[in-house]
């Protein structure tokens, strides 16, 4: 647990940009990531180690990772689909790597072209690779439970299946698991219930974070439920950009700016400076290729008169 009450992990440079067809320049990505870190965001998912032909928007992830590692006190996170991606992430110096395992096997075949057992074998091989490193150089290894609240391709995803996959990921060598509402199906009731079920199976210390989408307008409600039940890390994307390109209709991450205001209005410290976060938003808006719209109620309305952030503003 960090020194703040809730840790926000900014996923815009990965989950946001992967869903936007035009490619942001490497220089602009670096400016944006630096501004995000300067606002106090403690963890940024800077990209994904996938073949450039699959996601050309993220072809510069190795360079971006190496740059982000020069920023003091920033946890540099990346997504990897397999052992080859993990090799690239480790070579670039990532602090945290996440491998997504879709509980919906149909989505897994669409997303990473692998069955559950094939993905678990990738996890075992990545674990073996990490274990060859000195302890101080080993990245944190997370298994992301994608589509765990429902799937646009399969529909309902049984919660007992989510629990079994969580157990399998831990047994295969992950340090922790994370819940992911890839398709925006989740409800606050599901968030509370599924969090508790996975905790009961793998231990509370091995599930601390959640990744939410706002596809059906429930993103902040689900984030609130996650915080109330006791999760301490919430993923979000500046301006609400992003979504899964392999899940039809799964657009829209929860908006970082609105999430910060929600948490701070509850007296929860996020460590984020609001004015500097707005500077990062301006950089993003200027750097986005094409006519890409940014979302967010708080950026449009501003902070209420007399509002005091729970986090001391530096």
Catalytic residues: 244
261: Cα separation from own chain's centroid: 19
CA–CA dist 126, 182 (Å, integer) = 23
The secondary structure of residue 213, as a DSSP letter, is B
CA–CA dist 30, 89 (Å, integer) = 17
Structural contact between residues 239 and 264, judged by C-beta atoms closer than 8 angstroms:
no
φ, ψ for residue 178 (rounded to 5)?
-135, 145
CA–CA dist 229, 199 (Å, integer) = 11
φ, ψ for residue 7 (rounded to 5)?
-100, 125
258: Cα separation from own chain's centroid: 16
Q: How far is CA 12 from CA 18, 20, 201, 280, in A?
A: 9, 11, 31, 12
Residues sharing a CB contact under 8 Å with residue 264, sequence separation 6 or more, in sequence order: 270, 272, 274, 309, 310, 311
């Amino acid at each position: 647990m960090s020194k703040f009450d809730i840790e926000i992990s900014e996923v815009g440079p990965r989950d946001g940009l992967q869903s936007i067809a035009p490619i942001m320049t490497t220089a602009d990505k670096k400016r944006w990531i630096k501004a995000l870190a300067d606002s106090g965001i403690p963890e940024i998912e800077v990209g994904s180690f996938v073949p450039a032909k699959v996601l050309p928007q993220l072809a510069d992830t190795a360079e971006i990772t190496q740059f982000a590692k020069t920023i003091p006190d920033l946890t540099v996170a990346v997504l990897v689909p397999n052992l080859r991606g993990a090799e690239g992430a480790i070579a670039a110096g990532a602090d945290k790597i996440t491998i997504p395992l879709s509980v919906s096997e149909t989505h897994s075949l669409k997303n990473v072209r692998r069955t559950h057992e094939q993905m678990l074998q990738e996890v075992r091989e990545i674990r073996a690779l990490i274990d060859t490193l000195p302890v101080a150089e080993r990245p944190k290894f997370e298994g992301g439970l994608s589509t765990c609240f429902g799937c646009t391709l399969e529909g309902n995803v049984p919660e007992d299946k989510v629990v079994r996959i969580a157990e399998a990921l831990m047994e295969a060598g992950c340090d922790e698991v994370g819940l992911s509402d890839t398709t925006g199906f989740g409800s606050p009731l599901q968030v509370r219930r599924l969090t508790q079920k996975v905790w009961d199976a793998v231990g509370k210390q091995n599930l601390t974070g959640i990744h939410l989408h706002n596809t059906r307008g429930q993103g902040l409600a689900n984030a609130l439920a996650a915080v109330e039940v006791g999760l301490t890390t919430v993923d979000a994307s500046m301006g609400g950009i992003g979504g899964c390109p392999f899940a039809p209709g799964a657009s829209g991450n929860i908006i970082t700016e609105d999430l910060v205001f929600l948490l701070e209005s509850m007296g929860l410290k996020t460590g984020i400076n609001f004015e500097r976060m707005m500077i990062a938003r301006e950089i993003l808006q200027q750097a986005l290729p094409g006519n890409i719209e940014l979302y967010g109620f708080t950026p449009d309305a501003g902070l209420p008169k007399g509002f005091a952030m729970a986090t001391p503003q530096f």
